[in-house]
Amino acid sequence: MPYGCGVTKTSAERAQPTAEDRLRPAGRATRSAIEAAARTLFAEHGFDGASVRGIAAEAGVDPALVIRHFGSKEALFLRTLDRSLGVGKVIDGPLETVGRRLVAYLIDTDNASIRGRFVAIARGSHLAQVRDEMVRHTAEAYIAPLAPRLDGEDREVRVALVAAQVAGLLNLLFLQEDPVLSTAAPETLVALYGDAIQQLLTP
């Protein structure tokens, strides 16, 4: 470790001024314009369907600038990606009703952003880093808060299987747009699938 330098720096000022902190206003503006355009187009067309040139055009910017600012299309995608589906509050609630509340939250038609976030993630799942994020999300959003609260054996496996059930439901609803599930009454889905989930948590 050759650096450290013996300089008695009294404090590190802010968290980390490592990068992106000293940007001129113009830089910030175009950066966020690119991010906004990327968020829109990735959610609409997925990773492969959206093009860097298209994002640049939407942001009113040269395609080279997109790469210049974010390094690569994949890095931009990862930065733009919403990691979470926001299930935290639901999962922290009473354990005996997590199943039904989880389904009710996921298929809530008022919360259209769940669809967009899931589609963007699923359509980018061939990227290794996206897969890693999904695994991390399963561990942090489902297993970590839920497994310690369970009784019985195989707690982590049971929670991971709940995550599988969630993924499957969103898959048929939002990716395949299965007509049977799309036209079913929400309360029917909540009751049936919620109980199937619940069985893995409190059998």
**Cα atoms in the Cβ-side hemisphere of radius 13 Å centred on 100:** 10
Q: What are phi and psi of 179, to 5 degrees?
A: -65, -35
Name which of DNA, a second copy, none residue 129 binds, using a CB cut-off of 5 to 8 Å depending on partner kind: none
- Please select the residue that binds DNA; options are 37, 38, 61, 102, rule is CB under 7 A: 61
Contacts of 107 (CB under 8 A, 6+ apart): 169, 173, 186, 189, 190
**CA distances in angstroms from 137 to 61, 66, 85, 134, listed in the order given:** 33, 28, 9, 5
Closest CA to 55 of 75, 39, 74: 39
The entry of a second copy, DNA, none near residue 176 (CB within 5 to 8 angstroms by kind) is a second copy
Would you count residue 51 as binding DNA (CB under 7 A)? yes
Which of 30, 80, 138, 198 is close enough to bind DNA by CB under 7 A? 30
Residues whose CB falls within 8 Å of the CB of residue 85, separated by 6 or more in sequence, listed in order:
106, 114, 117, 118, 141
Considering beta carbons, is residue 57 or 165 the nearer one to a second copy? 165
Return the range that interacts with DNA (CB under 7 A); candidates 5-13, 54-62, 85-93, 182-190. 54-62
Binding segment toward a second copy, per CB under 8 A, in 10-18, 30-38, 75-83, 175-183: 175-183
Query: Which one of DNA, a second copy, none is in contact with 63 (Cβ closer than 5 to 8 A by kind)?
Result: DNA
Binders of a second copy among residues 109 to 138 (CB under 8 A) are: 122-123, 125-126, 131, 134-135, 138
- Applying CB under 7 A, which residues contact DNA? 22-24, 26-30, 50-54, 61-68, 71-74
